Amino acid sequence: MRFEIGQNVEAFKTFHEAEFVCQTYGLTRLGLESKLRLAESMMRLRKYSKARDKIYETIEKAKQYGKLERIIDSLALLAEIEHKEGNLVKALDISNGLVNEIETVIRQGFEDSKRLISYHQKIYDYLKNVVTYEILLGRLDDAFTKLDYAKSISLHYHVPMDNGVYNHNVANSGSHYVDGLKSQIGKDRLLMNVMLTNEKLYVFTLNSDGLQLFRKEIDSDSLRKTVNAYVDTLHNTVEVFNRYNVNTIDNHFKSTTQLGHRLFQELMGWPELRTILEKVNVIYLIPDEFLYKIPFATLVVNDSEPISYLVHKVDVVNLQSASFLVSQNAMLQESDMNNLRALISADPNFQEMDSFVSDLKKSIPVSKIMTIEKDEVQKEEVIEKLSENFDVYVFSGHSVANPVDPELSYIDVFVRNSSGANSKKFKIKLSDLRALKWSSPTLVLLVGCETASGKLYRGSGFLGLQNLLLSQGAQNVLASLWKIDAAQAIPQTRDYLHLYLESFNPSLALRKTQIKAINYLNNHTYYRNPHPYFWGANILYSKYLTSN
């Protein structure tokens, strides 16, 4: 429903004719959509009064036929008209009704789950408009809370809350919600919630010092191009090394560094924000839109020698929603080392896998290779085995993140039979993982290619393995944004587990692992420089605050 100025009159004529045709032939659904598009074209021609009348007419028809989605669309457009006329308070009043209708749609659900996901993305745009209205009125607590609400319901499932659902009453009590988060986050951790519009970047920061909002004018398309250029440059690293030429490799590192620094400046470059980052140890990051593609730990804070990355300053943890921290109440408890149990799916083709398993068994004595004491094993038995209560799960194997249909994404799980001599490979898809019955495993490690990828949804990030494992009960999931060679993946995973078992702090363990890899690459005659591709793929997704 976006039209250039020169197209508005033509759009008005087109949708006026479409409305007449739909009324003539009794096309209810298309008729409601035509009325809405006609109302929008009126709004763009600044015929606000006529647009309102058409919207109210649409709402009455939508109620008559039980079309809740069209009611939501109508209320969103009505609020936008009030905003354009400067009636922000009225726009917010209408938006509260919008949230009520959204909750009704979510409770009733859709027969087609893919349609539900698609419509949640549309709702996300509407709710971001509501956040903007709150910001313009200076109500930052409410703006932050409604942004978090928008991101939580843009997921394909509901984020659990203490009462079982995330409802609009929470979203409308901003100061209470923010105060609860402040008391849990403390002073040396920082929650960052990002929102993008076509013209502006908003970054909310929250810790015990309070809630702040950083904002700037941007060109969203230009920022997207920079993000894509950075990600593409990272992915091209392997090809550059395959053609091994010292000058080309050095120039590639220089280009990567420049893009990483440019992104840091664009996304976190406010002097006041940089001062805050100097005072905290951990950032809990909730990105937005295409920013989910970025491995934030690799962003370059200082591009002069010695180069420093964000990972040199802070632990970086990805959150899907701050509501996780509220609902989980919110501290990760240290595990009892003597009672830890680990389950390992070991790809026999991975180099150093045997030594990795041996080391893990020394660190966690109750570590078991995926084994089912039968000659013929069925997938249902694999899911049943995975559902046993282990504290740590390690999946080493190939995976495929399907960017079109995330339900077809899968990870290879290897199961040994009764003899233990051979492993059988099972492709475990997202749809299979929904049958998992986990209690609350502390850590899940996905050692494979693109295990943190999937289909990118603008409000909730990549829908893939990591999202589903968190929703099934995992407290922390470590996954990779791109394929990592086993020569790098296995040693880094080994280092990570050792460091994790020293502190039971998953974010600190990742930071130390990545800094160790940076130092190794920086001093290696073959790699020459710490190319982020080789150390920055792993992303930590969490539902808990780590200990100080």
| Domain CATH for 466 | 3.40.50.1460
| Structural domain contains residue 158 | no
From the first residue on, what is the mean pLDDT of each consecutive set of 10 residues in the chain (548 residues)? 48 54 55 80 86 88 83 90 92 86 69 58 85 94 91 54 39 74 87 95 94 96 96 94 94 97 97 95 93 95 92 92 64 62 83 79 84 80 86 82 70 78 80 80 80 51 69 85 76 90 91 96 92 93 74
Alpha helices in 85-112 (DSSP H): 88-108
Q: Are 394 and 345 in contact (CB under 8 A)?
A: yes
Report the pLDDT value the prediction gives residue 464, as an integer from 0 to 100: 64
Q: Are 219 and 225 in contact (CB under 8 A)?
A: no
Q: Are 95 and 130 in contact (CB under 8 A)?
A: yes
> Rounded to whole angstroms, how far apart are CA atoms 384 and 428?
12
Q: Where are the beta strands (DSSP E) in 177-335?
A: 189-196, 200-207, 210-217, 282-286, 300-302, 308-309, 315-318
DSSP classification of residue 295: -
| Structural domain contains residue 398 | yes
| Structural domain contains residue 199 | no
Q: Quick one: tokens of 24?
A: 């003539």
> Rounded to whole angstroms, how far apart are CA atoms 311 and 516?
11
CA dist 467 to 95, 171, 454, 484, Å?
Answer: 29, 22, 10, 20
| Structural domain contains residue 353 | yes
Residue 233 CA to its chain's centroid (Å): 22
CA dist 274 to 203, 267, 271, 313, 402, Å?
Answer: 13, 11, 5, 10, 37
Which amino acid type is present at position 367? S
| Structural domain contains residue 95 | no
Report the pLDDT value the prediction gives residue 315, as an integer from 0 to 100: 95
Domain that holds residue 470: 333-542
Q: Are 400 and 409 in contact (CB under 8 A)?
A: yes
Q: Quick one: tokens of 153?
A: 């319901």
> Rounded to whole angstroms, how far apart are CA atoms 20 and 62?
17
DSSP classification of residue 447: E
Report the pLDDT value the prediction gives residue 499, as an integer from 0 to 100: 93
| Structural domain contains residue 142 | no
Sign of the Cα torsion 500, 505, 507, 512 reads negative
> Rounded to whole angstroms, how far apart are CA atoms 20 and 30?
11
Q: How many CB atoms lie within 10 A of CB 238?
A: 14
> Rounded to whole angstroms, how far apart are CA atoms 116 and 156?
7
Q: State which H helix or E strand residue 50 sits in.
A: helix 48-65
DSSP-based three-state secondary structure for 495: helix
Report the pLDDT value the prediction gives residue 320, as an integer from 0 to 100: 79
Residue in the block written with tokens 């109508």: 74
Report the pLDDT value the prediction gives residue 206, as an integer from 0 to 100: 95
Which amino acid type is present at position 391? D
> Rounded to whole angstroms, how far apart are CA atoms 251 and 336?
48
Report the pLDDT value the prediction gives residue 367, as an integer from 0 to 100: 85
Q: Are 98 and 130 in contact (CB under 8 A)?
A: yes
| Structural domain contains residue 439 | yes
Report the pLDDT value the prediction gives residue 14, as an integer from 0 to 100: 60
> Rounded to whole angstroms, how far apart are CA atoms 227 and 221?
10
Domains held by the chain: number = 1
CA dist 294 to 103, 121, 235, 286, Å?
Answer: 31, 20, 12, 12
pTM of the entire structure?
Answer: 0.86
Q: Quick one: tokens of 15?
A: 């949708």
Q: How many CB atoms lie within 10 A of CB 318?
A: 22
| Structural domain contains residue 327 | no
The pairing of strands 341-345 and 315-318 is unpaired
> Rounded to whole angstroms, how far apart are CA atoms 38 and 15?
5
